[in-house]
Amino acid sequence: MRKSGKSYSKNQEQNFHNINWIIGNIFDNFEFLKMETLYYQDNLIDYLLRDSEFLKTYFDILPLQIQEEFRPNINIDLEIQNLLEFINQNMTNGNLSFMFWNNDKELDENQIQVVLENIIEAYFYNQDIDITRESLVGNGQIDFKFYKNKNEKILFEIKKASHPKLKSGFETQIVQYMKSIECKKAYYLIICFTDKDYEKVLQFIKTIKITNEYHQAITVSILDARINNKKIKLTNKILLNKKILAKIDKYFSYLKTINKCFDKESIKEYLNNIKENFHQIKNEELKQEYLKRVNEIFSQNTNIRFYQEYLSNQEKFYEIIKPKESLNNFIIHMLGNVSEENIDTVTNHANLLLDSIIPDENAELITKKQIKEIFEFIKIKTPKLYDMFKKIYIHIYLFDYKEKEFSNLYSPSLNFQDFTILFFKDPASNQIYDFFYKLGLLYCSYLTKDDYKVPKDFEQFLDKNISKYDYSKLFAISFAHYLMSNSKYQTYFPINKPLSKICENYFDNLL
């Protein structure tokens, strides 16, 4: 027997025909096996109502009719209202309005659609809503169509305030679209770039005539893209660099590309473009404009995902990024922190990661379930430590690759409140122990606000001949040993030597 070009021994081949061996090596647990019994006893729904974790874990393999019953009920209309409020808040109080300008010129409607498409896709990430741009409806194309099912669909039409058919767009265009697909709700979004635009739209809204039921179902909203003259003022030097500014604006088209690009080579090419474009710019103000837009793209993308998906539960102080999405998301995470001082470091660091990983089908990787169980274990064993974790945020990336030499597996943010842990496949590693060890490094950095220092009262346990750069490693080993001792994780600890009583008392008092 051969698989992926590899030969198996006779003993291995025999295992493939042994159902007990297959079950024991494929599944982490066997809870799902009781699903069939519960279903035929008509007890499955009651069980799912009592055990939300079981529902969440095995949702994808539930019978379809039960999936429909438990699928979260998303109100598209309410979500679009929230989206528009979110956009307007960020335009009024942040720099999002700059995305709708090209130097000192307004974007055209097609460019506006591209900007909004990226924001909308990020906002509705992983929700059960189909979003189509330039969808054919009747005799025309609607800018966006939001579809959940045949009874829940919303049309979304965009017009600049200066558009000559602003009035007919409301009175007839959207109405025809709604009739053609039997849609009962629509949004008419009008973009204002000047005070004159804004006054025009306010007057337009006041004079709207509601002549049918479709007009009543159309919500007219204003997107205020006006920018204070002082805020947008550009120097003559910048005006002379329109070609470079055009390059910067073209950069916006990369956002969707990076979000859908998962292979190493295309991401490396993308990273090199970022760096090369930056170093081609000679004007200091243009450099800042370029970096600001890089930050807007990636930090905003991350924040939408962060606030929409991971902070709904206050106890959820961590996110686990699945192997399929880790490479892409980690690059986005790194680029959100780019500055003039570190752009080379960040892009080189990302390239180093890409060069240092290789696929390995046979190597093992810690699972999402195992990580969740470890945090539950910590919650019970050391509530004080668990409460500390709730004050920070941890990004845990599970990579579907084996690392060759990349060693920077853990990195704190500058304020030591936001941490990143990377996990790679490794046929030889003890990943349960590694996770405890990395949590120890994290905890040490949190206490000392430094990558290498350890708490002063821990230094008494250290050999003075040891390099100071190894201090935090010894703290992390002791931390892992303390937590794993006398627990179900004890067998995973690689050293049989017990923790000294003095050191054990230290962690007793600390945790």
Q: What is the pLDDT of residues 131-141, one digit of tens each?
A: 888 888 877 88
3-state secondary structure of 422: strand
Confirm whether 223 is domain-assigned.
Answer: yes
Mean residue pLDDT of the chain comes to 76
3-state secondary structure of 227: coil
- Residue 338 is predicted with a pLDDT of 72
- Is 323 within 8 Å of 365 (Cβ atoms)? yes
Q: Within this chain, do residues 79 and 221 fall inside the same structural domain, yes or no?
A: yes
Question: At 226, which CATH number?
Answer: 3.40.1350
| Interatomic CA distance for residues 250 and 243, integer angstroms | 11
Grade residue 6 by pLDDT with cuts at 50, 70 and 90: very low
Q: Which helix (H) or strand (E) holds 133?
A: strand 130-137
Confirm whether 413 is domain-assigned.
Answer: yes
Confirm whether 309 is domain-assigned.
Answer: yes
Q: Which of 31, 49, 70 is the last residue of a domain?
A: 70
Confirm whether 362 is domain-assigned.
Answer: no
Grade residue 24 by pLDDT with cuts at 50, 70 and 90: low
End-to-end CA distance of the chain: 52
Highest mean pLDDT, choosing among 89-98, 380-389, 398-407? 380-389
- Residue 32 is predicted with a pLDDT of 61
Q: Within this chain, do residues 180 and 165 fall inside the same structural domain, yes or no?
A: yes
Instruction: Check whether 365 has a pLDDT greater than 60.
Output: yes
With tokens 């099912």, the residue in question is 149
DSSP single-letter state for residue 173: I
Q: What is the pLDDT of residues 477-506, one digit of tens each?
A: 889 999 998 899 988 888 766 776 767 788
- Is 198 within 8 Å of 161 (Cβ atoms)? yes
61 burial via Cβ count (<10 Å: 0-12, 13-18, 19+): exposed
* Helices and strands in the chain, H and E counts: 25, 14
3-state secondary structure of 141: strand
Q: Within this chain, do residues 140 and 223 fall inside the same structural domain, yes or no?
A: yes
- Residue 234 is predicted with a pLDDT of 35
Q: Within this chain, do residues 184 and 275 fall inside the same structural domain, yes or no?
A: no
Q: Is the model more confident about 296 or about 473?
A: 473
| Interatomic CA distance for residues 462 and 466, integer angstroms | 7
Grade residue 260 by pLDDT with cuts at 50, 70 and 90: low
Q: Within this chain, do residues 123 and 270 fall inside the same structural domain, yes or no?
A: no
Q: Quick one: tokens of 48?
A: 């799912």
Domain that holds residue 153: 73-231
- Rounded to two decimals, the pTM is 0.47
| Interatomic CA distance for residues 481 and 490, integer angstroms | 8
Instruction: Mean pLDDT check: name the lowest of 62-71, 75-84, 148-157.
Output: 62-71
Q: Are strands 152-160 and 140-149 parallel, antiparallel or unpaired?
A: antiparallel
Grade residue 395 by pLDDT with cuts at 50, 70 and 90: confident
Query: Residue 371 to residues 8, 105, 365: CA-CA distances in angstroms?
Result: 32, 50, 11
Q: Quick one: tokens of 13?
A: 């081949």
- Residue 422 is predicted with a pLDDT of 84
Rounded average pLDDT over 296-304:
53
- Is 440 within 8 Å of 479 (Cβ atoms)? yes
**Cβ atoms within 10 Å, residue 469:** 9
Taken in order 52, 54, 60, 61, the sign of the CA dihedral is: negative
Confirm whether 90 is domain-assigned.
Answer: yes
Rounded average pLDDT over 59-80:
72
3-class DSSP string for 87-105: HHHHHHHCCHHHHHEECCE
Instruction: Mean pLDDT check: name the lowest of 162-171, 219-228, 263-272.
Output: 263-272
Grade residue 419 by pLDDT with cuts at 50, 70 and 90: confident
Q: Are strands 140-149 and 130-137 parallel, antiparallel or unpaired?
A: antiparallel
Q: Are strands 393-403 and 357-358 parallel, antiparallel or unpaired?
A: antiparallel
For Cα atoms 331, 257, 93, give the angle at the middle one, nearest 5 degrees: 75
Confirm whether 363 is domain-assigned.
Answer: no
Q: Within this chain, do residues 89 and 8 fall inside the same structural domain, yes or no?
A: no
Instruction: Mean pLDDT check: name the lowest of 120-129, 219-228, 330-339, 419-428.
Output: 330-339
Highest mean pLDDT, choosing among 269-278, 299-308, 476-485? 476-485
| Interatomic CA distance for residues 38 and 31, integer angstroms | 11
- Residue 1 is predicted with a pLDDT of 42
Encoded amino acid at 27, one letter: F
| Interatomic CA distance for residues 20 and 275, integer angstroms | 53
Q: What is the pLDDT of residues 152-211, one digit of tens each?
A: 889 999 999 999 999 999 999 999 999 988 888 999 999 999 889 988 988 888 888 888
277 burial via Cβ count (<10 Å: 0-12, 13-18, 19+): middle
* 153: Cβ contacts below 8 Å, ≥ 6 apart: 76, 145, 146, 147, 181, 183, 185
Instruction: Check whether 451 has a pLDDT greater than 80.
Output: no
Q: Within this chain, do residues 45 and 78 fall inside the same structural domain, yes or no?
A: no
The phi, psi pair for 400, rounded to 5°, reads -85, 40
Q: Within this chain, do residues 450 and 499 fall inside the same structural domain, yes or no?
A: yes
DSSP single-letter state for residue 309: I
Q: Within this chain, do residues 79 and 197 fall inside the same structural domain, yes or no?
A: yes
Q: Within this chain, do residues 380 and 494 fall inside the same structural domain, yes or no?
A: yes
DSSP codes, 436-486: HHHHHHHHHHHHHTSSS---GGGGGGS-TTS-GGGHHHHHHHHHHHHHHTT
Q: Considering only CA atoms, which of 337, 370, 359, 259 is closest in space to residue 305?
A: 259
Instruction: Mean pLDDT check: name the lowest of 33-37, 93-97, 204-208, 229-233.
Output: 229-233
Length of the chain: 511
Q: What percent of the chain has pLDDT over 90?
A: 13
Q: Within this chain, do residues 290 and 152 fall inside the same structural domain, yes or no?
A: no
**Cβ atoms within 10 Å, residue 511:** 17
User: What is the separation of C-alpha 382 from the centre of its chain, rounded to a whole number of angstroms?
Assistant: 29
Highest mean pLDDT, choosing among 50-64, 240-254, 403-417, 424-438? 424-438
Grade residue 464 by pLDDT with cuts at 50, 70 and 90: confident
Total domains, the chain: 4
Q: Considering only CA atoms, which of 238, 250, 335, 291 is closest in space to residue 95?
A: 291
| Helices 109-123 and 284-305: angle between axes, nearest 10 degrees | 40
Q: Is the model more confident about 331 or about 250?
A: 331
The DSSP bridge partners found for residue 219 are 187
- Is 421 within 8 Å of 442 (Cβ atoms)? yes
Q: Within this chain, do residues 202 and 254 fall inside the same structural domain, yes or no?
A: no
- Residue 151 is predicted with a pLDDT of 81
Q: Quick one: tokens of 53?
A: 């974790």
Confirm whether 85 is domain-assigned.
Answer: yes
| Interatomic CA distance for residues 411 and 473, integer angstroms | 14
Confirm whether 360 is domain-assigned.
Answer: no
Q: Which of 24, 46, 70 is the last residue of a domain?
A: 70
Q: Which of 355, 383, 407 is the last residue of a domain?
A: 355
- Residue 59 is predicted with a pLDDT of 67
| Interatomic CA distance for residues 257 and 270, integer angstroms | 9
Instruction: Check whether 100 has a pLDDT greater than 50.
Output: yes
Q: What is the pLDDT of residues 311-323, one digit of tens each?
A: 334 456 888 888 8
